[in-house]
Structure 1
Amino acid sequence: MAVGIRGLGSYVPPRVITNAEISAWTGAPEQWIVERTGIHERRYAAEGQTTSDLAAPAARQALGEARDGLEALIVATCTPDVPQPATAAILQHKLGLRGVPAFDVNAVCAGFVFSLVIAGRMLAGRDHASALVIGADMFSVLMDHSDRRTVSLFGDGAGAVLLGDVPDGYGILASRLVTDGEHHEEVGVAAGGTRTPLDSAARAAGEHYFRMNGPMVRDYVITTLRKLVQEVVDDCGLRLADIDRFVVHQANSRMLEALAADLGVDPERLPMTIERCGNTAGASVPLTLHRSHQARPLRRGDHVLVAAAGGGLCAGAAVIRWH
């Protein structure tokens, strides 16, 4: 048996942050935000909510009643509930999945694709086994409200998939992952680890906020994802024209449009959630996959390509034949 997607789920918190609010925080005109990002609104978690709180409803939806044979629970996040233990352990408790191995993966916005590949390889050759993979992030807690370049982009959310047995010839057909650590300084949060403790001096310097070299990251995403996408499609013996849906990390809509044009992909095959949800980081691929499937259900035999790039810098892509 092969390994494929057996269930989907997603969740975004109800609080809507409009461009008018971003404009009030930053002084950036609302039209500037739309023109630069394509985003009209994003969602923020309520006070007291945690990343595992966002992940839980998405996970329950994907899991359904399929609790037997669950061999892994992986949470892709770079905004954990606490530095330790793993958010996956906290989520495992909330879901009542006692004993199921649970761990986090931090590949920032590419974390879900990395986790999907890890889970798929864990299950390879195992009959009647499954894994729950969740992408969940709360970037609202990392935002500098005076930085128009970042606060205009990010929202909170979660998405989940249940991986399990599918007939041979379906499921995950191929995958590619890459990390280019020489660029690790281009995206990230400086304080909170062993290099820079999160103390009053770090807070005064704003080192607890998310920072990003936008132009450099944009060039990396376009160049690296173009290469990975073509390679993983070639690995399957397919062409780009054979891919029915491209579910790509929702960095911003202008970047997605540029990538689609670069690949020669019809925008109709590249669904977006960024206009109303913003960039939900590690959640964006499973969230977009679920919402796209709800709006226009995937059919057996459809080819789905998932791809994302994130801090590190890193990127991943996989092709799935839908069952």
Structure 2
Amino acid sequence: MNHLEANTIQEQTIGVEATSVFFPEGVETAECLAEKTGIPTQVIIEKFGLYQKHVADDTLHASDLAVLAAQQLTGSVIDPSEIDVIIYFGSPHKDYYVWSSAPKITYELKATNAYGFEMMNVSSCFPIALKVAKDMLTADASIENILLVAGCKESQIVDYDNPRSRFMFNFADGGTAALVKRGATKSRILHSCVITDGSFHDDVRVPAGGSRHQPSHETVENRLHYIDVPNPSDMKERLDPISIPNFVHVVEQALAKSNRSLRDLKLLLPLHTKRSMFLELLERLQLSEEQAVYLDHYGHLSALDPCIGLHVAQQEGRLSPGDIVVAVSAGTGYTWAATVLEWLAESQ
């Protein structure tokens, strides 16, 4: 590739051209969760920030949810044969252990010319997936269309009888997809910021199923196949002072790298958190509630939240040409990530 070709590629608009979502029919309301947990309904609504969430039955798994979301784009928005790369960025709790869902998704979508792979950084992954897709399109002239796909069935790994996992009672199920392409007309992906504090690497995990604690009668009897927080008070003591500052940092730095500032930010697409954290983040970013998508009727779907938020914002007509949008999320481990998009078209 000569310098002229490289410059032409870099000048082309790379952005999210379309999004889709899929939610299973099953719904758990705040009232249902109150019965399961013993937590009053109003507390679940007002503090957890959750009116309801979708829950999949035994016939649908993470790969299926991803496929059902992506199929809304293949055919209507893009012919499957025109997809060059499929990246699964969803939940690591998938159909099988030591198994990649990307080949299945590629096959089910009939994307015969695409190669597929997975990237996983639990809940922080969508802003990172946007960065990776943009970087791939910038670097490789042979790629035109990348389909980001994700599924989540993390409601299945919540133990409602374990008070240590209380902050994860909002885990829900669903699928989402985003088409990132060269020559996009709907949006432009600008820049990203990602930071990791690995001191939290052991604070949230499913204890059994990996090489440290292989499945056994004992691990099943002791309910070690559900997500857990070994020491919630210790994690809270260390995480609370840095969590919001790190959210703010990645948003500010991603904007600065995009030659923008908080004054330019029109819409925030965050992961679903408890309502007090959501409101504190908005206050620190000098945003109103109308300037964010809060998924209080969907819950938390691992890395899917900001992508779902982008889809909801389009459906609700909340995006106008020139708007600066930030997808921001955080994943246990702990990684905070933000990616800036400039919206180019009227919402449908």
TM-score (norm 1): 0.92
Q: CA deviation at 1:217?
A: 4.7
- Aligned-residue offset at 1:4: 0.3
Q: Which of the numbers 42, 64, 76 marks the counterpart of 1:31? A: 42
Q: Is the 8 A contact 2:83 2:113 kept in 1?
A: no
1:134 equivalent in structure 2: 149
Equivalent-residue separation in structure 2 for 1:50 and 1:19 (angstroms): 23
Whole-angstrom distance in 2 between the partners of 1:251 and 1:108: 15
Q: Name the aligned partner's letter for residue 218 of structure 2.
A: A
Equivalence for 2:103: 89
Measured in 2, the distance between the counterparts of 1:65 and 1:180 equals 39
How far the C-alpha of 1:163 sits from its partner, in A, is 0.3
Aligned partner of 1:109 in structure 2 is: 123
How do 1:48-87 and structure 2 match up within 5 A? 48-63=59-74, 64-66=76-78, 67-76=80-89, 77-87=91-101
What is the letter of the counterpart of residue 244 of structure 2? I
2:274 is matched by which residue type in structure 1? N
CA deviation profile, 1:187-221 (whole Å, cap 9, x unmatched): 22122211221222222222211124473555543
Letter in 1 for 2:32: E
Alignment partner for residue 199 of structure 2, among 179, 182, 203? 182
Check conservation: 1:26, 1:147, Cα contact below 8 A.
no
For the 8 Å contact 2:137–2:143, the answer to whether it is kept is: no
Q: Structure 2: how far apart are the matches of 1:12 and 1:217?
A: 31
Letter in 1 for 2:333: G
Q: 1:219 to 1:94 in 2, by over 3 A?
A: farther
1:282 and 2:282 are equivalent in the alignment: no
Residues of 1 paired with 2:85 and 2:242: CA distance? 32
Larger deviation: 146-155 or 223-232? Answer: 146-155
In proportion to residue count, which structure has more strand? 1
Q: How does 1:138-157 map to 2 (within 5 A)?
A: 138-147=153-162, 149-150=166-167, 152-157=169-174
Superposition pairs for residues 1-323 of structure 1, below 5 Å?
1-63=12-74, 64-66=76-78, 67-76=80-89, 77-125=91-139, 126=141, 129-147=144-162, 149-150=166-167, 152-166=169-183, 171-212=188-229, 213=232, 215=236, 216-217=238-239, 219-273=241-295, 275-323=296-344
Kindly tell me: are residues 151 and 179 of structure 1, through their superposed partners in 2, closer, same or farther at Cα, counting changes over 3 Å?
closer
What residue identity is the alignment partner of 1:90? Answer: K
8 Å CA contact 1:186–1:217 kept in 2: the answer is no
1:75 counterpart letter in structure 2: Y
Question: Which whole-Å CA distance do the structure 2 matches of 1:175 and 1:317 have between them?
Answer: 5
Matches of 2:156 and 2:241, distance apart in 1 = 27
Q: Which runs of 4+ in 1 moved over 4 A?
A: 216-220
Q: CA deviation at 1:184?
A: 0.8
Where relative contact order (Cα < 8 A, 6+ residues apart) is larger, the structure is 1
Q: Name whichever of 183-192 and 281-290 sits farther off.
A: 183-192
Q: Aligned residues, how many?
A: 322
- Counterpart of 1:60, as a letter, is Q
Unmatched runs of 5 consecutive residues or more in structure 2: 1-11
Change (3 A) 1:320 1:289: same
RMSD of equivalent CA atoms: 2.1
| Secondary structure in 1 matching 2:297 | helix
C-alpha offsets along residues 218-245 of structure 1, whole Å, 9 cap, x if unaligned?
5543121111111111111111121121
Greater shift after overlay, 216-225 or 98-107?
A: 216-225
Q: Structure 2 CA distance, aligned partners of 1:180 and 1:150?
A: 20
Q: 1:322 to 1:68 in 2, by over 3 A?
A: farther
8 Å Cα contact 1:191/1:197 also seen in 2: yes
Q: Which structure: larger Rg?
A: 2
Identity %: 24
- Partners of 1:151 and 1:321 lie apart in 2 by 32
SS of the equivalent of 1:108 reads coil
